Amino acid sequence: MRLLLHEWNSFTGFDIKQAFREEGIDFDTTWLNARTRSQEETIEFMEKFDKLLKNKEYDAVFSINFQPPMAEVCHNNKVMYIAWTYDSPALCGFEHQHYFDTNRVFLFDSAELALHKKMNKPHLYHLNLATNVKRMNSIKMTPMQQLRFQSEISFVGQMYTTELHDMMQSMSPYAVGFLQALVDMQMKDYDSNLIRNLITDEVIDTISNPELIEKMEKYNEFFSAVAEGQLRLAGFRSFLQRAVTNRERLMILSLLSKHYSVRLFSRDRHEVLENVTYAGAVDYRKEMPLIFKNSKINLNITAKNIENGIPQRCIDVLGCHGFLLTNYQEDLFTEFEEEKDVVTYKSMEEAVDKAGFYLKHDQLRNEIAHNGYKKVRDLFNYHTQLAKIWKITGLK
C-alpha cells in the first residue's frame, strides 16, 4: 500500500503518521494548503496537487478532515480519497464533491452521518476517533509541571468567544428576540440540535441585511458565514453554535468554581471566571496528557456543533487514565457505560452535584477512570481504527 498523506496542524496527524510507520505503510506527505478562501487559491492548490498525483502512483490519498478541492483532484485522477474527520460538521454545505465515487469519508459524529445519508451521499461511514495511549503514558513529568497541572477539576480548551452581541446591533428587534430565545433554549437542551432545526433559509433571509453581512465578513470564522455577499446558512449556524458553547463553558466553569477548585488551561480569559485559576495554554502532545493524569476530574463541555459524536478530548482523557465528567453525547454509549467507564451530566446543576460526589469518593472515581482507560486502550487505539478503514476501502 502506498499513500499520500495530507498534513496540516491537526492534533491527530503525528499519531496517524506513527501508526502508518508501525504498520509498515509506504507513504509520502504534502503540506499544500487545502483551506482555500478564493477561487484563485483553489485553482492554484488543485494544479499543484494534480502534479503530485501525476508524478507518482498512489493507492489512495489520506487526509484529516474532508477537503473538497482535494476530493475533486483525486476524482479527476481516479485515485481513492480517504478522509477521517475530527471536526463536525465536516461536510458543510451541499458541495458536489461529496458525491464522488472515489471518496471514502469517515465521520466521527453519527448525527452528521445520518444527515448526509438522507441526501444519498455515497461512501460515508461512522468511525470514532482514536488516541495513542502508549505515547501519552510515556511522558515524564517534572516537579514544576506537577505543581502547575495538579487539579481538583480541570478544563482544557477554547472558550469560543464570539461577537454575537455586536452582530445583534445590526438586526431587527424581532430577530434579536428570536435569536436570544433560541440561544437560551439550546443552552438547556442536551438532546436536540435546535439551531440546526430552527435556523433555516427563510430565517437567514429575514435577518440578513448589508450591515450584518459586512460585520460577519470581518468576523471571518473557520466556517465562513458569508459567501459572495450573502449570509450562508451553515456558517451562521456554526456562528450561533459557537456562541452557545461560549456561554455554556463560562457558566459551568463559573458554577463549579464557586464550590470547588477549578483550573482552566486555555488561551482565553474572561472576567466572569473570577474564581477559576487561569493556567494558560498547553501543548497538545507534551503537556495536555499530564493535566489529564493529574486532575481528579477532567471536564468535557462539547462544542455544540458536535451533535452525537465523542470529541477527541474525551478519548484522550480516558487514554491518560483520567476520570471524565462530560455532557451527555449519544455516541458515547455505543461503547461506554454510564458510571462504570464515564460519568455524564444533562444540566449544569447535575454537573456541579456529580463533581462534588466524585471528589469525595476517590476509590470509586479511580475505578471508573481505570475502566474507561481499558476501553480506550483496547477499542480506540489507532491500529484498531485504521484497520476498519483498510477493511472498508479494501487496501489491506
pLDDT digits (tens, 9 = 90+) for 332-352: 999 999 999 999 999 999 999
Q: Give the span between the Cα atoms of 312 and 305, in whole angstroms.
A: 14
Mean pLDDT, range 93-103, rounded to an integer: 88
Residue 214: predicted pLDDT: 86
> For 240-259, what is each residue's pLDDT tens digit?
999 999 999 999 999 999 99
Q: Give the span between the Cα atoms of 267 and 156, in whole angstroms.
A: 10
Q: Which pLDDT band holds residue 94 (cuts at 50, 70, 90)?
A: low
Q: Which pLDDT band holds residue 36 (cuts at 50, 70, 90)?
A: confident
List, in order, residues 6 or more apart from 143 with CB less than 8 Å away.
Answer: none
Mean pLDDT, range 188-199, rounded to an integer: 90
Mean pLDDT, range 135-153, rounded to an integer: 93
Write down all domains in the chain, each with its CATH number in brackets: 2-130+383-393 (3.40.50.2000), 133-160+249-380 (3.40.50.2000), 164-245 (no CATH)
Do the Cβ atoms of 62 and 5 come closer than 8 Å? yes
Name the residue among 382, 391, 389, 288 with its Cα closest to residue 14.
Answer: 382
Mean pLDDT, range 176-181, rounded to an integer: 95
Do the Cβ atoms of 236 and 199 come closer than 8 Å? yes
Q: Which pLDDT band holds residue 93 (cuts at 50, 70, 90)?
A: low
Mean pLDDT, range 95-107, rounded to an integer: 95
Task: Say how many CA atoms lie within 13 Å of 283 toward its Cβ.
Answer: 6
Residue 289: cis peptide before it, omega within 30 degrees of 0: no
Cα torsion 217, 105, 330, 314: sign: negative
Do the Cβ atoms of 106 and 389 come closer than 8 Å? yes
Distances (CA, A) of 367 to 228, 309, 334: 54, 24, 20
State which amino acid sits at residue 83: A
Q: Give the span between the Cα atoms of 187 and 109, in whole angstroms.
A: 20
> Which residue in the block uniquely carries the three cell numbers 484563485?
40
Query: Nearest 5°: CA angle at 207, between 202 and 210?
Result: 120
Q: Which pLDDT band holds residue 222 (cuts at 50, 70, 90)?
A: very low
State which amino acid sits at residue 368: I
Range name among 175-189, 227-241, 321-335 with the lowest pLDDT average? 227-241
pTM value surpassing 0.75: yes
**CB-based burial, 294-314: b 16+ in 10 Å, e otherwise:** bbbbbbbbbbbbbbbbbbbbb
How long is the chain?
Answer: 396
Query: How many Cβ atoms are within 10 Å of 359's Cβ, its own excluded?
Result: 17
Name the residue among 125, 129, 90, 98 with its Cα closest to residue 329.
Answer: 129
Instruction: List 106's β-bridge partners, or say none.
Output: 84, 125
Name the residue among 216, 220, 241, 89 with its Cα closest to residue 160.
Answer: 241
Q: Which pLDDT band holds residue 226 (cuts at 50, 70, 90)?
A: confident
Do the Cβ atoms of 282 and 156 come closer than 8 Å? yes
DSSP conformational letter for 87: S
Mean pLDDT, range 294-298, rounded to an integer: 97
Using DSSP, how many helices (H) and how many strands (E) does the chain show? 17, 14
Q: Which pLDDT band holds residue 227 (cuts at 50, 70, 90)?
A: confident
> For 39-57, what is each residue's pLDDT tens digit?
888 899 999 999 999 999 9
Q: Is the pLDDT of residue 270 over 50?
A: yes
Name the residue among 183, 193, 129, 128 with its Cα closest to residue 160.
Answer: 183
Q: Is the pLDDT of residue 329 over 50?
A: yes
Query: What is the crossing angle of helices 233-257 and 173-188, to 10°?
Result: 50
Name the residue among 157, 351, 162 with its Cα closest to residue 247.
Answer: 162
Cell representation of residue 118: 438522507
Task: Say how many CA atoms lie within 13 Å of 189 toward its Cβ.
Answer: 15
Let me know if 74 is exposed, middle or buried by CB neighbors in 10 A (0-12, 13-18, 19+): buried
Let me know if 235 is exposed, middle or buried by CB neighbors in 10 A (0-12, 13-18, 19+): buried
Residue 221: predicted pLDDT: 54
Q: Is the pLDDT of residue 225 over 90?
A: no
Do the Cβ atoms of 336 and 372 come closer than 8 Å? yes
